[in-house]
Amino acid sequence: MSEIAYIDPPAGCIGDLTLDEVWLDQLRQAVYERIARMDEIPALLAQLNATDWVRWLNDSGARVTVCAACNHYVRMGDAVNSELPWLDERLFCHECAERLRAEHTFVCDVCGHEFFAQRQPAPFNICPECDGPSVTVALSSLWAQLQRARKLNLPATLTPREWLDTLDYFGWRCAYCLRADFACLDHYVPVVQGGGTTQGNCVPACTSCNSAKGGRAPQGYLIKASAFTRVKEYLAGVEK
């Protein structure tokens, strides 16, 4: 009986796994058990698909699987889970698992920790721990105001971390009346007067204080002068 030196893996299953002698022997047995004559081997191998191939290898004791990303063979002992929750229990070779993790790792703009996300988060990188309904509202108004300032060629440097710090400082209330809940991002020096979206110029405001202030100079008359002084002092303290 002539020997089968090597059984080519089926198309779509490009592998470079070296079968050791024991595995190869067992694999030959698997082939021989399925044929009556040696000249049937090519036809048998031609109809093998990738799934059968891996099953045969496993039956022969080789214990292999196919990487779910690159389709290369991986010994079971080397195959790893990607740790990316949306890829479930799929197994990968080390290179693919590492590449996938790197592609889906983002650094949170608020806490600075790395986190996994299936898609690029927008408009900011916010990890699940830092995210929440009020944070989403606060950051979407930040994003809108950053865009507005950029369009007008004004400074636009306020970061999510800085904006959330300012909101925390004022207890997520209006910086002017200190009573009503935060409703919008207020530019202390109004945008129409060249005030940028920066840490030294932005505070939370309620709807009525914000409209009382309008586009007027900070010395607008409907808000107490002491409130303006307090806000101005805070802003001077965080200004870089």
Closer residue to Zn ion, CB minimum distance, 13 or 209: 209
Residue with Cβ nearer Zn ion (31 or 201): 201
How many degrees, rounded to 5, is the angle at CA 160 between CA 148 and CA 141?
40
Cis omega before residue 218 (within 30°)? no
Site string for Zn ion, 173-192 (x = CB under 5 A): -x-xx--x------------
Q: Is residue 209 part of the contact set for Zn ion (CB under 5 A)?
A: yes
Q: Is 69 in the site for Zn ion (CB under 5 A)?
A: yes
Question: If binding is defined by CB under 5 A, does position 111 make contact with Zn ion?
Answer: yes
The span of 67-75, 82-90, 155-163, 226-234 binding Zn ion (CB under 5 A) equals 67-75
Rule CB under 5 A: is residue 135 a binding residue for Zn ion? no
Selected from 7, 19, 91, 96, the binder of Zn ion by CB under 5 A is 96
Instruction: Report the chain's terminal Cα–Cα distance, integer Å.
Output: 84
Q: Which is nearer to Zn ion, 114 or 239 (CB)?
A: 114
Closest CA to 40 of 69, 1, 94, 66: 1
Q: Quick one: DSSP state of residue 17?
A: P
Asked whether position 93 contacts Zn ion by CB under 5 A, the answer is yes
Least distance (Å) between residue 89 CB and Zn ion: 16
Residues 143, 97: Cα–Cα separation, whole Å:
33
Report the alpha-carbon distance of residue 204 to residue 193 in Å, rounded.
19
Should residue 108 be labelled a site residue for Zn ion when binding is judged by CB under 5 A?
A: yes
**Is there a contact between 154 and 191 (Cβ–Cβ < 8 Å)?**
yes
Binding track over 35-64 against Zn ion, x by CB under 5 A: ------------------------------
* Beta-bridge partner residues of 107: 114
